[in-house]
Amino acid sequence: MDLTSGCVRDEPLDVVYAKAFVGGSGLAARYVYEMVDGSTDPLGPDNPLVFMTGPLVGTAMPAAGRCTVCALSPLTGIWGEANTGGFIGPELRFAGYDGLIITGQADRPTWLSVVAGRARLHDATDLWGKDTYAAQEQVRGLLGEPRARVACIGVGGENLARMAAVMNDHGRAAARTGMGAVMGSKRLKAVAFRGSSRVPVADVDALSQVTREAMAFADEDMSAIAIRLAGTAGSVDTMLMYGNLPIRFYQRAEWDPASDLSGVLMAERFQNRNRGCYRCPIACGRETRAPRYGADRVDGPEYETLGALGSLLMINDLEAVIYAGHLCNLLGLDTISTGATVGLACEMFERGVLGSASTGGIEMRFGDADMLHRIIPMIARREGFGDLLADGSAELAKRFGAPELAVTVHRLEVPMHDPRAFSGMVVSYALSPRGACHLQGDMYGVDMGQASEPELGIPAGDRFEVSEQKGRIGARSLAWSNLYNAMILCRFLMPGAECVKRALNAVTGWDLQTPDLLVLGCRIVALKRLLNARRGLKRCDDRLPDLLLEPLDGGATEARVPDVDVLLAGAYAEFGWDPQTGMPTRDTIDALGLRVHFKT
Amino acid sequence: MSIPFPSDEWIQDLSRQLHESASYGRSAKDWEGDFVFVVEPDGAYPNTAYLYLELHHGRSPGAAQIASPEDRTAEFMMSAPYSTWRRVIEGKIDPIQAMMTRQLKVDGNMMKIMRYPKAAKEIVDCCACIPTDFAS
């Protein structure tokens, strides 16, 4: 869909691309690679915005109800991708498409419907300025399809806040890397999908068998059970115990009041019900309430939100944090980047780097929930000091001459997992194709035993280990996660490589062997790496922020600091990347079969 | 002098250590719920053993080796082969990692356990302080 001309073009799925890059963010990266270069403005009309599904999406396979939203990121300048659950991915396939590539820029607020194989543009003047929940509801009404699935932006995306999210299925979020701002730059308020097309499956019987096995696994797996019981929020206490939950802008090891943010307490005091995505037996989603603020239906908060808007800011008032997350959902903001950027502002304010004159008189203090509730809408609307925060941490720190205080990797704010608690997160953060990310090589999960995959050489190990071998495991985990984000399968269902391979073969008719899985993952990671190199990423950018390399006094990280160079050396070796340039070598490009795709 | 594991003496020593531990007392100050630890036979240990541990508000009022899990009413039962218990006690495997990888199985109210991981860590730390004599 080209929004400048209003032209729509149907294109059959490129099977060569699909076999090489599978789907999801892998396939999206392949398409985007052809469409951008080093000078493409992420907020300009030439940056394609891609809604992509994967081969497993919308099939009977459990936990495959996801969708990925991809583009160059206006927050980081490099590859951006954000994965979301709910029902939007399956509905896109039911509407007759594997993906949707949106280019250009509309001359007025617009929304797009894709219903039963037909795409249409609509005027969105009346939707502009609406919150994400109201916009979704109104689009369904305008379409006359009460069961349509809608993805939209909030005021944050409209105002090009660089941490703006795309929201769908009420409060599900494709949150990271500012995909909402890209959508806003195109003046595209919403997309709606509805259809009843059958999703192709090569071997229905084989898929039925593997589906039964995956369902049975979800019933018995401790990680799945724990997430079903208390959502991702249920891990707050465990992460505190490990020293993994960042406190006071990543600078404190312990803070007893943080346990007030426990997901178990949240379930007891504020939870309305569980909410699951399409065909998901886990149902990690939580609907809560914050009655003190008049919010009777809140989506989440997730663990990341409780950390970013809670412990990171020294706010232990659970109801206030729930409401802050609700504001982000309504306005369409990534809670991680929002919380981390507000945290940076508090740190700068308390160090005297920022003064009241710069903040418009707002006292940016840790522990102040009222300040947080006031500043979040200002970010989304780019009002006053919020305008500076809306550009993200890296820009804020640079503007005030304190770049060393930004806790970002490749300009993306670091999530709520401390690499001092799980050393393998060094690789996850430094080499993630989208910047600091906990979902691309979640080594904390590997070493907790939740995300280990021994069949692929990704065993659970010592969380403090620093070695090249650990770096290699981190690289494999990153490749495996990237394949997950291509198929697309949720990271909370990990029934084993053998099971996943059979599911992929059953759906596609391919004949993959287990070792092929990591080759696919490595190819996708290498593709994104080459795309990022085109955008200016260099080996020296593969680093952790200074604050994460300072030992913490006391607590469960035991004053440890991981050796970044040792871990990355192992990861580069595992990927077959040149340790000097940090880029895939010619031999690696050949081995991954990438040369036929690119002139490098 | 080392204490054999599993044994009545060993679980009583653990109970005593927990009872006296200030850090366990803090991390489990609201905890209510007794445990039965089931030591399952494997190549290194031929029998099944049951160790009952009473835990209440940061203290451990009592413990005993029991002949059968029916001998005492416990809210939680934690089972693993002998060699896995040994690795946990020796600190060679993180207990949460052992649970997640299904080497160690838990029966009981998981929500309650999820609220007190630090207390679980304190128990393991106390285990490591017992001069233990393993069968092999």
Q: Is the pLDDT of residue A499 over 50?
A: yes
Q: Is the pLDDT of residue A599 over 80?
A: no
Pick from A163, A143, A140: which is nearest to A153 by CA?
Answer: A163
Neighbours of A493 (CB within 10 A): 24
Instruction: Give chain A positions within 8 Å (CB) of B94.
Output: 447-449, 463
User: B116: nearest CA in chain A?
Assistant: A237
Report the gap between the CA of A65 and the closest CA in chain B (Å).
Answer: 24
Using a pLDDT cut of 90, give the percent of chain B over it: 87
Residues in chain A whose Cβ is within 8 Å of chain B: 220-223, 225-226, 229-230, 234-235, 237-238, 240-241, 262-265, 267, 447-450, 452, 460, 463
Instruction: Give chain A positions within 8 Å (CB) of B98.
Output: 449
> CA separation (Å) from A527 to A15, A27, A466, A531, B75?
17, 10, 27, 6, 52
Q: Are the C-beta atoms of B97 and A460 separated by less than 8 Å? A: yes
State the Cα–Cα distance between residues A28 and A24, nearest whole angstrom. 6
Using a pLDDT cut of 70, give the percent of chain B over it: 99
Distance of CA A123 to the CA centre of its chain: 29
Q: Is the pLDDT of residue A596 over 90?
A: no
Using a pLDDT cut of 90, give the percent of chain A over it: 98
Q: Are the C-beta atoms of A278 and A65 separated by less than 8 Å? A: yes
Q: Are A306 and A374 contained in the same domain?
A: yes
Residues in chain B whose Cβ is within 8 Å of chain A: 94, 96-102, 106, 110-112, 114-118, 121
Q: Is A93 within the bounds of a domain?
A: yes
Q: Is A200 within the bounds of a domain?
A: no
CATH (domain of A119): 3.60.9.10
Secondary structure in 3-state letters for A453-496: EHHHCECCCCCCCCCHHHHHHHHHHHHHHHHHHHHCCCCCCCCC
Q: Is A507 within the bounds of a domain?
A: no
pLDDT at B136: 57
Average pLDDT value for residue range A101-125: 97
Query: Do the chains contact at A449 and B116, CB–CB below 8 Å?
Result: no
| Domain enclosing residue A62, as ranges | 15-194
Q: Is the pLDDT of residue A91 over 70?
A: yes
Burial class (CB in 10 A: 0-12, 13-18, 19+), A260: middle
Pick from A242, A92, A219: which is nearest to A168 by CA?
Answer: A92
A185-194 per-position pLDDT tens digit = 999 999 999 9
Question: Which of the listed residues A351, A371, A406 is the one where a domain comes to its end?
Answer: A406
Positive/negative CA dihedral, A171, A172, A178, A183: negative
Average pLDDT value for residue range A295-308: 97
Query: Do the chains contact at A449 and B101, CB–CB below 8 Å?
Result: yes
Q: Is A329 within the bounds of a domain?
A: yes
B88-118 per-position pLDDT tens digit = 999 899 988 998 888 999 999 999 999 999 9
Q: Is A214 within the bounds of a domain?
A: no
Q: Are A95 and A124 contained in the same domain?
A: yes
Instruction: Give chain B positions within 8 Å (CB) of A448.
Output: 94, 96-97, 100
> CA separation (Å) from A80 to A25, A70, A74, A214, A395?
9, 6, 8, 30, 17
Structural domains in chain A (count): 3
Q: Is the pLDDT of residue A600 over 60?
A: no
DSSP, residue by residue, A165-181? PEEETTTEEE-GGGHHH
Indicate the DSSP class of residue A252. Answer: B
Q: Are A90 and A170 contained in the same domain?
A: yes
State the Cα–Cα distance between residues A193 and A106, nearest whole angstrom. 19
Q: Give the ipTM of the model, two decimals please.
A: 0.92
Q: Are A431 and A388 contained in the same domain?
A: no
Q: Are A426 and A402 contained in the same domain?
A: no
Contacts of A484 (CB under 8 A, 6+ apart): A490, A491
Nearest to B114 among A237, A449, A452 (CB): A237
Q: Are A181 and A289 contained in the same domain?
A: no
CATH (domain of A277): 1.10.569.10
Lowest-pLDDT choice from A331-340, A357-366, A398-407, B102-111: B102-111
DSSP-derived 3-state class of residue A367: coil
Mean pLDDT, chain A, whole residue set: 96
DSSP-derived 3-state class of residue A25: helix
The tokens for A87 are: 């029902």
Report the gap between the CA of A517 and the closest CA in chain B (Å).
Answer: 22
Distance of CA A68 to the CA centre of its chain: 9
Q: Are A390 and A283 contained in the same domain?
A: yes
> CA separation (Å) from A399 to A280, A371, A545?
44, 22, 17
Average pLDDT value for residue range A243-266: 96
Q: Are A150 and A95 contained in the same domain?
A: yes
The tokens for A221 are: 């797996």
Instruction: Give chain B positions within 8 Å (CB) of A286.
Output: none
pLDDT at A29: 98
Q: Are A461 and A333 contained in the same domain?
A: no
Q: Which domains does chain B have, with CATH numbers?
A: 3-129 (3.30.1050.10)
Q: Is A358 within the bounds of a domain?
A: yes
Q: Is A168 within the bounds of a domain?
A: yes
Question: Which of the listed residues A406, A436, A471 is the one where a domain comes to its end?
Answer: A406
pLDDT at A22: 98
pLDDT class of A289 with cuts at 50, 70, 90: very high
Side-chain half-sphere exposure of B89, counting CA atoms within 13 A: 23
pLDDT at A79: 98
State the Cα–Cα distance between residues A149 and A191, nearest whole angstrom. 8
Pick from B57, B65, B53, B60: which is nearest to B3 by CA?
Answer: B65
DSSP strand pairing (B105-107 vs B76-81): antiparallel
Q: Are A447 and A313 contained in the same domain?
A: no
Q: Is the pLDDT of residue A284 over 50?
A: yes
Q: Are A584 and A548 contained in the same domain?
A: yes
Q: Are the C-beta atoms of A162 and A392 separated by less than 8 Å? A: yes
Residue given tokens 């929004």 in the structure block: A3
A163-208 per-position pLDDT tens digit = 999 999 999 999 999 999 999 999 999 999 999 999 999 999 999 9
CATH (domain of A574): 1.10.599.10
Lowest-pLDDT choice from A303-307, B7-11, B72-76: B72-76
Q: Are A341 and A229 contained in the same domain?
A: yes
DSSP strand pairing (A271-275 vs B35-40): unpaired
pLDDT class of A597 with cuts at 50, 70, 90: confident
pLDDT at B1: 79
Query: Do the chains contact at B96 and A447, CB–CB below 8 Å?
Result: no
State the Cα–Cα distance between residues A522 and A534, nearest whole angstrom. 18
User: A556: nearest CA in chain B?
Assistant: B118
Question: Which of the listed residues A353, A380, A406 is the one where a domain comes to its end?
Answer: A406
Q: Is the pLDDT of residue B58 over 90?
A: yes
Q: Is A501 within the bounds of a domain?
A: no
Average pLDDT value for residue range B11-25: 95
